[in-house]
Amino acid sequence: MTPAARLSAAIEVLADIEARRRPATDALKDWGLAHRFAGSGDRAAIAGLVYDALRRKLSAAHRMGEATPRAVLLGMLRLDRGLDPAAIEKLCDGSRFAPDPLTPAERAALARGEPDDAAPSHVAGDYPDWLDGALARVFGDDRVAEGRALAHRAPIDLRVNTLAAGRDKAMAALGHLAPKPTPWSPVGLRITIGPEAKSPPVHAEPAFIKGQVEIQDEGSQVAALLAAAKPGEQVIDLCAGGGGKTLALAAAMANKGQIYATDLDKRRLAPIHARLERAGVRNVQVRTPPPGADGLDDLVDRADLVLVDAPCTGTGTWRRNPDAKWRVRPGSLAMRIAQQATVLDRAATLVRPGGRIVYVTCSLLADENADQVAGFLKRHPGFAAVPPAETAEVLGEQASAFLDAVLAGPEGLLMTPRRTGTDAFYVAVIRRAG
């Protein structure tokens, strides 16, 4: 397919997403099934156009003066990919499979300089307007800059599984992908891909198949590191899901001690068994919860560490899930807040005196972060928040720079794409009195 034909296809897919209010993955899959002539490179390029358009949906529409799928794609090409008006006009020449020629209004919009500062904050920052107050509470006038950082593509981050390989060995095995060490995680590798490039099939790499690496954002890696799991400890991963942080904890513990991994939604645990086997993890017991319970009553007051990787709105992962930010609603936030309080209260019954709860979300919102921790501490006076400076000590010589980068408060710390180059993760360590 020509670049112009790919642009036409992206406009078609974006129109389907808007008309049917469906996830981008579903619309892209259906388009591919209906256009089997398109190769894998074509499909990847079309998906890149669609996702980049969703990332810049509001600012692109503001630039073009309308919010049609075509306008959003054209505005994105100008704002995000830096194409000049002549290059965009060349794509839209009206030839076979190409978009219609630019209108005079489109030419004028594309020729303007950068959008002025009069755009509302949520437009300039490309996030839903109903979240503006919540983001202002956390970031103040920096919320636009934080939103813009969330509107850029994320790299591919890998965690080196130290049970199977060191970082240098894994980097050498993946040398053809040009990985670089991550700045904060001592076991992280980063692969940067261009806007037109296909994502490399990491799952097919020998290093992945041998369990030497796992795909995991550096922020998630750091959150697991901040839990400071030690060999020999008794650990509960209360919201284990597919097991990403479970695997990281097992590596930190050198396969010594015991991790109990569970999740109230047992369907989310499905991938964990194969991942544990591939990684060579031997100290994890997966507890599939029975109906109406979590199957952990025998562990009350026994855990040195309870990790609560809480269900949340996922606002911190918008770089990777750009359509999700337009589908999040106030009702889903309220539901998540209730779930978080419930799981934190359960964690309080499982941790031993002197033990700790590590509360993690991939959210930007204080309602799900500092407010949850503050509420928990009011309900459970026998617990206290560990100061972020103490929490970060596990990062060694990187601790000081890390603390300078994050947004730290009395209850915990927040990583963001703008501040740390990671997805947004909130981490709070809560210690039970001995």
Domain residue limits, the chain: 3-116, 120-151, 156-215, 218-432
263 is in an annotated binding site: yes
Is 367 annotated among the ligand-binding residues? no
pTM assigned to the model: 0.94
Per CATH, the homologous superfamily of domain 156-215 is: Sun protein; domain 3 (3.30.70.1170)
pLDDT tens, N- to C-terminus, the chain (434 residues): 999 999 999 999 999 999 998 999 999 999 999 998 899 889 999 999 999 999 999 999 999 999 999 999 999 999 999 999 999 999 999 999 999 999 999 999 999 876 556 799 999 999 999 999 999 999 999 999 999 999 999 999 999 999 999 999 999 999 999 999 999 999 999 999 887 777 899 999 999 999 999 999 999 999 999 999 999 999 999 999 999 999 999 999 999 999 999 998 889 999 999 999 999 999 999 999 888 788 899 999 999 999 999 999 999 999 999 999 998 888 889 999 999 999 999 999 999 999 999 999 999 999 999 999 999 999 999 999 999 999 999 999 999 999 999 999 999 999 999 999 999 999 999 999 98
- 58-66: long-range contacts (C-beta < 8 A, 24 or more apart)? 58/122, 58/123, 58/126, 58/127, 59/115, 59/119, 59/123, 59/124, 59/126, 59/151, 62/115, 62/119, 62/123, 62/124, 63/109, 63/110, 63/112, 63/115, 64/106, 64/109, 64/110, 65/105, 65/109
Provide CATH code, domain 218-432: 3.40.50.150
Gap between the Cα atoms of 15 and 327, Å rounded: 16
Question: What positions carry a catalytic annotation?
Answer: 362
pLDDT of residue 183: 96
